Amino acid sequence: MRKFVLTIATIFGVAVTYGQNPITAKTSFTKEYLPVWQVATEHCLDVAKAMPEELYSYQPTEVSKTFGEQMVHIGYTVELLTKRYVQGMNVKPNAPDAGKMTKAEILELLEEGFAYTTNVINTIDQQQLDETCVMYHSGNTVSRAFAFFYVQDHMANHRAKANLYLRMNDIQPPEYTW
């Protein structure tokens, strides 16, 4: 299991400890974007932790994902979308089955997915950020830097759904702070 810890060194620089190796963001974009990404990932983990394990199988409608499936979808796709759109890799979906995972395993998957993308945020260079990619669903051509926003927006979409699942079970969602 990979763990990451964010350390904001100064207002002008961001350093991340990834495993045992400190990483410093390479571009001004990544220095500015990293704190936004970090807040979003911490909030998502708070949402995942707020739901009791016995309600990870909660599904508000027949066609909806379960809460656990929402969380697995987030944890799996942050890495998949980062590889596909930011790094330009040809990757195919192969998500794990949330129904066969414990809450702890799902939290670990979220942490690993977030750590992967955090590492890419910190190590990508400006030339790569300026390259373009074609978004699979929309067909739009965007910069790889812009693709980071898509990864975050996708996460926020499924996190918002998970917030509703909490409310439907009379659980107050964690407060969003920024």
Beta bridge partners of 142: 133
pTM for the structure as a whole: 0.85
Looking at the chain, the number of H-run helices and the number of E-run strands are: 5, 5
**DSSP one-letter string for 9-26:** EETTEEEEEETTEEEE--
pLDDT tens, 87-132?
999 999 999 999 999 999 999 999 999 999 999 999 999 999 999 9
pLDDT tens, 43-79?
999 999 999 999 999 999 999 999 999 999 999 999 9
User: Could you tell me the two tokens for 154?
Assistant: 């996708």
CATH topology of domain 27-168: Four Helix Bundle (Hemerythrin (Met), subunit A) (1.20.120)
What is residue 109's predicted lDDT score, i.e. its pLDDT? 98
CA distances from 75 to 125, 143, 168, 172 (A): 24, 23, 22, 22
User: For the residues 22-28, what does the mean pLDDT come to?
Assistant: 76
